[in-house]
Structure 1
């Protein structure tokens, strides 16, 4: 049993490692362009949303974008009100990763490694960054495949099996699991990818997978909150806004999980693709609903955390 949990921890570490390597490659490639793009996203909330979506889709990490946003707000470069749009965009952009890994791309692992590893030892910055992208993405694919191979051994353990049954029966428990796992791992994408693997092996049903995904959205807020500790008042408001945005979205969405799952069944049949589409639709809907009331939401955050 210990070796199964050890492998599971290794695959989680490999997934996060792959995300980090990809992000570093992109950051070296773009240098300071990401921060400059965020600085320019101050004209309107909608422009901030588009910018947050684009930067997060490129960096493949909403946490990294949130840390940058908190820093820019703390420096007084971006006003708190416009940081809300970036947060909404980050929530949308982060599910791009899920849409990609939802499909079976294991056949790409060896070609990516064969091409990517030699590029990591080149002197050219461009080729090195490309190598980081290829090597990092292959690491993510290996981790996803590892999650799937461990799904059956893990579920054969009575403790895990009982836990899976509990989450299938209690959506509130599933949300709690998503919050805790995401707060510990610091990656909502990794938590949702694990849920995808168990769904593909038919140990988790779609409503439970959606509930875990919703919880992961809340748990990942821990990163921005930690980044705001010791910062300015506005940077703390940005972190609080991130928490409230995800919390309100989950509260509004939670009662309709079963109805939403029925609808998702009509647009996709593969479990992992169903969960990826669920994450995309949820984040799009919740972000555009909040965008319509962004001024009132900003005043609400300033009032409740005055």
Structure 2
């Protein structure tokens, strides 16, 4: 029983994470070198910063990667902390693009995409090879999803597992904590969401708990940024904690209305996986749009919360 659960979990998660890495590497080689220049130039206003955060997250396929890049640019003095709030709001919405694609259930294209990607990788031109990495990465992601599905059946038959989830299936607090911890351990909110989709499709989780796990995954992605900010300047620490506190505040604000969010998602689609994806999109879209007009106030609050401790030099 344990082997039938751990084997597909280990292989499926490995395929998924390696696919994310391959896709991110391909995108980075295609546009990543210009990303720092774009982020330095096109973050003059909160709206520009927001769109840059959204686009960067889609290209790099990781909100954590964009946040770490933002921390690096802030630490180097290329952009100011006040410019980063819009980027952070954009990254949260950018992560939903990957989730929506995953929810489309394109697993049947996994092997063809993997083969096409490998074929493109063997081509001599650099851009074609990088495109091949992106295509192969998508193929590995869908192969990982297909493999992760194999663990759902033994989990469903396990009395221990079922009793554990029966006790916590209606506890959104447990779901939130699960999402935070698991995402913090594997450094991938998308992987946490995929596993949650699989459990939900086999009725092992309730919709409210599944959504709570996904909200927890949003918070869990902040661990990488916090680690990256260690040893950096105050502005970089402000970026990391702004991202963290924003996600925590958003999750806490939505916890009381998870049943309503579940109903809205169910109205949009009857597919459980798509309901999870739509819930995450609605959550991030609402949080970002509500906060976007107040980016300067948010920046001021974070600067008050984490002040620059440098002693100003007195001029004679």
TM-score bucket of the superposed structures, by smaller chain? over 0.9
Aligned-partner Cα distance in 2 for 1:17–1:93: 20
Aligned to 1:122: 123
Aligned-partner Cα distance in 2 for 1:154–1:191: 16
For the pair shown, the structure with the greater C-alpha radius of gyration is 2
- Cα RMSD after superposing both structures: 1.3
3-state SS of 1:169 partner: coil
Aligned-partner Cα distance in 1 for 2:152–2:38: 40
CA deviations on 1:157-193 (whole Å, 9 max, x unpaired) are 2332233223321110000000000100111111011
Aligned to 2:310: none
Matches within 5 A, 1:1-306: 1-3=1-3, 4-306=5-307
* TM-score calculated relative to the size of structure 2: 0.93
CA deviations on 1:55-79 (whole Å, 9 max, x unpaired) are 1112211111111100001011111
- In structure 2, relative to structure 1, the CA distance for the partners of 1:159 and 1:82 (3 Å cut) is farther
Does the aligned pair in 1 maintain the 2:172–2:212 contact within 8 Å? yes
For these two proteins, the number of residue pairs brought into alignment is 306
Does the aligned pair in 2 maintain the 1:92–1:283 contact within 8 Å? yes
CA deviations on 1:76-106 (whole Å, 9 max, x unpaired) are 1111011111011000001101100101212
Aligned-partner Cα distance in 1 for 2:48–2:167: 42
Structure 1 unaligned segments of length 5 or more: list them. none
Does the aligned pair in 2 maintain the 1:41–1:82 contact within 8 Å? no
3-state SS of 2:203 partner: coil
Aligned to 2:313: none
Structure 2 unaligned segments of length 5 or more: list them. 308-316
Aligned to 2:314: none
Does the aligned pair in 2 maintain the 1:116–1:134 contact within 8 Å? yes
Shift of 1:250: 0.6
Shift of 1:31: 4.3
Does the aligned pair in 2 maintain the 1:15–1:144 contact within 8 Å? yes
Aligned to 2:312: none
Aligned-partner Cα distance in 1 for 2:254–2:107: 33
Answer with 189-198 or 154-163: which moved more.
154-163
Does the aligned pair in 2 maintain the 1:19–1:60 contact within 8 Å? yes
Aligned-partner Cα distance in 1 for 2:292–2:31: 28
Does the aligned pair in 2 maintain the 1:119–1:127 contact within 8 Å? yes
Does the aligned pair in 1 maintain the 2:156–2:202 contact within 8 Å? no
3-state SS of 2:169 partner: helix
Does the aligned pair in 1 maintain the 2:58–2:95 contact within 8 Å? yes
3-state SS of 1:94 partner: helix
Aligned-partner Cα distance in 1 for 2:49–2:159: 48
Aligned-partner Cα distance in 2 for 1:59–1:164: 34
Aligned-partner Cα distance in 1 for 2:80–2:228: 17
Aligned-partner Cα distance in 2 for 1:296–1:166: 42
Answer with 136-145 or 121-130: which moved more.
121-130
